[in-house]
Amino acid sequence: MVDGTLINEGQTSFIVPKDHSAGGPGKILGSVFFNEQMAFNRDVSVMFLRAFDRELTVCDAMAATGSRSVRIANEAPNTVVTANDISTYAIPYIEENIRLNKLDNCSASNRNLHSLLAENVFDYIDIDPFGSPMPFLHSSIIGCRRNGYLAITATDTAPLAGAHRQKCERRYQCRPLRGPMCHEAGLRILIGTIAREAAKFDKGIRPMLSMSSDHYFRTYVQMRDGAGKADESLGELIYMAYDPITLERSYSKEPDKDHKYGPFWGGKLFDVEHLQKMDPSGTAAEKRCTKMLSLWKQEIDDIPLMYEISEISSHLKITTPPFERFIERMNEYGRTSRTHISPTGFKTELSLNEIFSVYKEVAGEMR
Ligand SMILES: C[S@@+](CC[C@H](N)C(=O)[O-])C[C@H]1O[C@@H](n2cnc3c(N)ncnc32)[C@H](O)[C@@H]1O
């Protein structure tokens, strides 16, 4: 028996150290890491995996207490899960949690993920590190079966969202962006970096679900074999020019003195067909899962980058009109949607001048 607290999450129970994180990026408080706030994040993994109608081998490569592993094995019965962690302290928790849930489709593994993934391939690999996933990307690509899936978390949101530019340039070889769109930019830097790493192995990527949430970015991508697929993915990379005074933005496939931000992933973030199959019933944060699924499904994801309504109101110095009405009116002129990234953010194919003119029109209706 291990010492700890029993957590009931979704349809699963597991033991974690008594001292554990309850929010933020979290840190190791007991001998093994656990963060209660990541329940929604684990819900999404469960929904993502049980939406497949075939068996999948899963490697939870950085499993800590095995909370995600046992939830997946228990709530997505189409999976066979390897719950791996390098820490010897983690293994008794993983083993106890497998026993507790009477799982015969989950086993514990105490390996350095680099050697585990050099010797074994899996249909799905989960990388959930402290901070940046960059040191683990190469191995996860090697260990991923042909056309398999990678789920990659980054909690180093400050560099990715432009608060520490040099750190982002070192880790991701990308120039990040400050401003109201910085979270979408950070998410797209993460995806673009996975595409560039995969291309080294003649592989492309297809993002299926990408999110900016709480204190982290996370993306689920399908790996696609072949030099052609790698070139296709690299073709999705874009650079951006941005003037915070005029709010003017423009995009280019090549960097130049103005298009100095990036490269960002400029392609799609979601596979709506897969999202349609994801079922929130019985998850721990069912309400939030339902809300997020509907936001992801409607989000325009083939046009970077989002705007915040507040940047338009500050620029025009006109009081913000009702957001719902603004989105509705924008849609009469061109494709516009909300974004999961911010409740007051929007994506649109309209130009900045068109946005200004709809904004003024809707604000005028209020007078
Ligand atoms: C943020 S925690 C993972 C949390 C866990 N996925 C969850 O949902 O509760 C990161 C874990 O990665 C493990 N780790 C770090 N480097 C590793 C490596 N090279 N191979 C395997 N595990 C590693 C650490 O021991 C730690 O338990």
Summarize pLDDT for 32-57 with one digit per residue, the tens. Answer: 999 999 999 999 999 999 999 999 99
343 C-alpha vs ligand 1 centroid, how far in Å?
32
- pLDDT recorded at residue 22: 62
Give the DSSP H or E segment for 216.
strand 216-225
Which of 110, 83, 97 is CA-nearest to residue 16?
Answer: 97
Q: First CA to last CA across the chain, in angstroms?
A: 67
42 C-alpha vs ligand 1 centroid, how far in Å?
14
Question: What is the number of the ligand 1 atom nearest to the C-alpha of 38?
Answer: 8
**pTM, entire model:** 0.96
Quickly list H helices, the chain.
39-50, 67-75, 90-100, 113-119, 134-142, 157-160, 165-172, 182-199, 227-234, 272-277, 286-298, 309-316, 323-333, 352-366
Q: Are 46 and 10 in contact (CB under 8 A)?
A: yes
Strand partners, 249: 242
Pocket test for ligand 1, best of 86, 122, 142 (most atoms within 8 A of CB): 86
- Specify the 3-state DSSP secondary structure of 207: strand
Task: Measure the CA–CA gap between 156 and 217, rounded to whole angstroms.
Answer: 8
Which of 41, 55, 42 is CA-nearest to residue 14?
Answer: 42
State the burial class of residue 225 (Cβ atoms within 10 Å of its Cβ: 0-12, 13-18, 19+): middle
- Under-70 pLDDT residues of the chain: 21-30
55 C-alpha vs ligand 1 centroid, how far in Å?
25
